[in-house]
Chains A and B, each alone.
Chain A
């Protein structure tokens, strides 16, 4: 398979669009947890009951089902996929690791552009997930609500006045809403402001996590910011509170980038181009280094230092250089040692594509 075709198939179509503030907010995600009244929750449920639930879902959503906003929906069952295929979905953030590993009757209902994934038989019976590029939480909620209403016409939800939507875990009860954004904050990390900002965000009842890493040492300077509280506030308020913090972070990051450019332009430029050179010529690349270098290059693109490389390269390669994707591209299982070689090769090839694109 050519790299171009592989990327075409591997990258979710929704990722290719740019959204508002997409120089800093890479993606927005809305998740709604829903359970059906008649079934016990997946944590204690028997295989028979889980299978019955999956069959009920398949009856309602079959290959001919189409939704007016999301188009055709398809159902991917965990039991008919091999380990690597499932891992690929995990690396694309379409399903959770728990669904891939622990749910024999788990499934994902996917829209064509992969912006919608409804997980079946995860920790809750149904988990609606909408993914959008850029900073678009409001739009995400609107879409998720629409799918939620559509599902509610077909299934009877576990809901009562006091607890709202009843979920398997007490941390999700009420709205069942988890809203999150993925942010690229290199300047705040480099200027060491992140350590100061993180506790403040926690105090506001929001969670910040480094992606593929922990705490402030987030790999690739990528951070996921999400709400914690789900009970006692409306969906709109939850998203409003999260959004105002995200807006602040976007402003702070922009200001930090500007002051970096003013105070140490040459240092930043050096860092950006060293990373670009390393990515373009290396023969071995660990995933940790890859994410750091890619972050530098992305910053260089955002600051206008690197031209002719598309900004989506960071999101794209962060996904493509994950183990399961490398193995899928290689068509075989790879040892960590082989993965490092393949990772370097794939990144070189991908940058080469950019160069060729610009010659045309």
Chain B
């Protein structure tokens, strides 16, 4: 089959485009395909990130109804890598770990949509990094109890808690040094 563009070379790229039920067939040679790159799927693939950026953009509320805090979130920029929300929305990708914090306000609705309503991790916890997480969580809980005990003026128990927190803190510090 000859290329439908140049009518000279053999067509090597065949594809069917269906837009709103209207079917169009293309038979094009390598040379013409390169020239027309942007129209041909596969030669310049439409990525998930482009689809995603549509979704992220959608998350941005319309200007007139925008509250101040949301507007701030929209204009926020990651201190660590310099990525702005706009750039994030356009590329569909985070720049660094800190971006998760910077764009926090806007993320939950996105995660919900992408992951069937879920926003919290329920899977594997890394052994090394996870261990510290467990201890951190424990310290936070103990601190909370400590505060309550002090408020209730139960100082003996508070002292015990304080020692517990200290030893946990120490084990963390030792790990950092080690």
Contact = CB atoms under 8 A, between A and B. Distances in A.
Interface of A: 35, 37, 39-41, 43-44, 123, 145, 148-149, 152-153, 156-171, 173-175, 177, 205, 214, 229-235, 238, 288, 335-337
Given A159-B130, A170-B52, A171-B52, A235 B97 contact: no
Nearest to A156: B129
Contact of B126 (A152, A162, A229, A231): A152
Interface in B78-99: 80-83, 91-97
B118 A229 contact: yes
B148 to A, nearest CB: 23
Given A161-B121, A163-B121, A167-B94, 13 more contacts: A37-B97, A40-B95, A149-B127, A166-B97, A168-B93, A169-B49, A169-B92, A170-B93, A170-B107, A170-B114, A173-B111, A174-B121, A177-B123
Interface of B: 10, 12, 14, 30, 41, 48-49, 52, 80-83, 91-97, 100, 107, 110-111, 114-130, 133, 137
B41 to A, nearest CB: 8
Contacts, number: 133
A162 B97 contact: no
B126 A159 contact: yes
Q: What 4 A-B pairs come out closest when comparing CB atoms?
A: A232-B118, A164-B121, A231-B115, A175-B123
B91 A234 contact: no
Contacts of B93: 41, 43, 123, 168-170
Contacts of A230: 115
Contacts of A235: 123-124
Contact of A43 (B30, B95, B133): B95
A167 B115 CA distance: 14
A233 B122 contact: yes
A158 to B, nearest CB: 4
Nearest to A37: B97
Most chain A beta-carbon neighbours within 10 Å: one of B96, B100, B118: B96
12 contacts: A123-B93, A152-B128, A156-B129, A160-B133, A166-B97, A166-B100, A168-B93, A169-B52, A170-B93, A171-B52, A174-B118, A232-B120
